[in-house]
Amino acid sequence: MSNFHPKIRGSSGLTLIELVTSMVIASIAALGLGVGITSIVGFYQDDWVTKDVRFWGYECMDYIISEIETAKKVETRTYLANYDGLLISKSDGSQQLNIQGNEQEGLLSNGFPILDYANFPSSGVYRDEGQRTVALDKFTVDLLADDEEFRLRYGTMPSDSRLKQSLWIIEMVISVTTKYHGEYFVEYVKFKRIAWAKDKYF
- Position 11 in a domain: no
- Position 22 in a domain: yes
- Position 146 in a domain: yes
Q: Is it the case that residue 196 has pLDDT exceeding 60?
A: yes
pTM comes to 0.74
Per-residue pLDDT, 39: 52
- Position 3 in a domain: no
- Position 124 in a domain: yes
Question: Which residue type, as a one-letter code, is found at position 89?
Answer: S
Q: Is it the case that residue 65 has pLDDT exceeding 70?
A: yes
Instruction: Tell me the per-residue pLDDT of 129-186, one tens digit each, with 9 for 90 and over.
Output: 767 899 999 999 998 888 888 777 766 766 667 777 888 999 999 999 988 767 788 9
Per-residue pLDDT, 148: 80
- Position 21 in a domain: yes
Per-residue pLDDT, 147: 80
- Position 9 in a domain: no
In the predicted model, what is the mean pLDDT of residues 1-29? 64
Residues 70, 199: Cα–Cα separation, whole Å: 9
Range of the domain at 122: 16-201
Instruction: Tell me the per-residue pLDDT of 122-139, one tens digit each, with 9 for 90 and over.
Output: 887 777 776 789 999 999
Per-residue pLDDT, 158: 63
Q: Do residues 71 and 199 touch, judged by C-beta distance below 8 A?
A: yes
Of 17-26, 36-45, 50-59, the least confident: 36-45
Per-residue pLDDT, 164: 77
Q: Do residues 100 and 89 touch, judged by C-beta distance below 8 A?
A: no
- Position 107 in a domain: yes
Per-residue pLDDT, 36: 56
Phi/psi for 5 (5° steps) reads: -115, 110
User: Is 27 or 44 the better-scoring residue by pLDDT?
Assistant: 27
Of 34-48, 123-137, 187-201, the least confident: 34-48
Instruction: Tell me the per-residue pLDDT of 71-110, one tens digit each, with 9 for 90 and over.
Output: 999 999 887 778 999 999 998 888 999 999 999 999 999 9
Q: What are the beta bridge partners of residue 97?
A: 88
Please return the burial class of 144, using the count of CB atoms within 10 Å of its CB with bins 0-12, 13-18 and 19+. Answer: buried
In the predicted model, what is the mean pLDDT of residues 53-77? 93
Q: How many domains does the chain have?
A: 1
